[in-house]
Amino acid sequence: MRGGYNPITFISSIPSLNESNYNVWREKLEIALALSDNDLALFSPCPTEPVDPVREANETDAAFATRQRDHAEVRMKYDLDRAKWDSSNRKCLMVIKGSIEDPIRGSILEYSTAIEYLKKVKSQITGSSEAYASTLIKKLVNEKYSDGGIREHILKMSNTAPKPKPIDLGLKDEFLIYLVFASLPKGYETFVVNYNLQPDKWNIKKLIAMCVQEEERLKSSHVDKDTYRWCHKTGHYQKDCLEFLKHLIRKGIPYEDPAKRRKTQVSHI
């Protein structure tokens, strides 16, 4: 145990590996193995076994004996190094496998070294992460805003965006902002154009604030146009507005009193 550290404490802090937390898992794993003094097999290759000396044809007994003594020291060092490496490799494999969720561990072949096993784990997670991110990006591209609040719509897209994986699949705010703009209805076209013309770029928080403000402006302008423009009154549709119908007459369109039109429609029922 290095420096009084309790290896169990660090090993227990390693999160279970799933398809979305490889980077955190790998970092915690390496810290735990290092602080418990068990990480030799992760950064050092397996020691190479020395070849036993073979007596040469014209070699004297004394010379061969000397080579055998020298080799004995090399063999002893190898045996000690190999025992230490094997112990580290065995413990690393135990910790690695024990911190992987069952579905992922069951799909990984057995390997004799921790390094080989970790390479396969990364390959497995990277492949599934790419497929997972591809699915989410397709979903974001096809997302369209209809109703329910612009804030909720942006937060939903932001939460859907792939988070960083073993490879760089995280979406930057700027790209996500353009995906949000692409999902907005036609009424936001001027708003989007104005954003593209300005030098400053927004983060997601600023995007939400500005979109909520624009949504309120659009709602207000819609009410002003459809409800108040002709008579400045509420409680009826524009098609039933007397002032609006008089405006049509001035344009040369025949006028019919809305109340009379409704009475005629009722008589034909």
> Could you tell me which of 115, 117, 107, 118 has the C-alpha nearest to residue 22?
118
Paired tokens of 215 = 């949504």
pLDDT at 15: 92
pLDDT at 171: 54
| 6: exposed, middle or buried (Cβ count in 10 Å: 0-12, 13-18, 19+) | exposed
CA pair distance 263, 153, nearest whole angstrom = 44
The β-bridge partners of 100 are 17
Domain ranges for the chain, please list them. 2-129, 146-267
- Average pLDDT of each block of 10 consecutive residues along the chain (269 residues)? 61 86 91 91 94 93 94 96 96 94 86 93 74 72 86 87 47 82 91 88 90 88 54 63 72 58 49
Q: Is the pTM of this model over 0.75?
A: no
Chain mean position to CA 83: 41
Amino acid at site 44: S
> For the chain, what is the radius of gyration of the CA atoms?
37
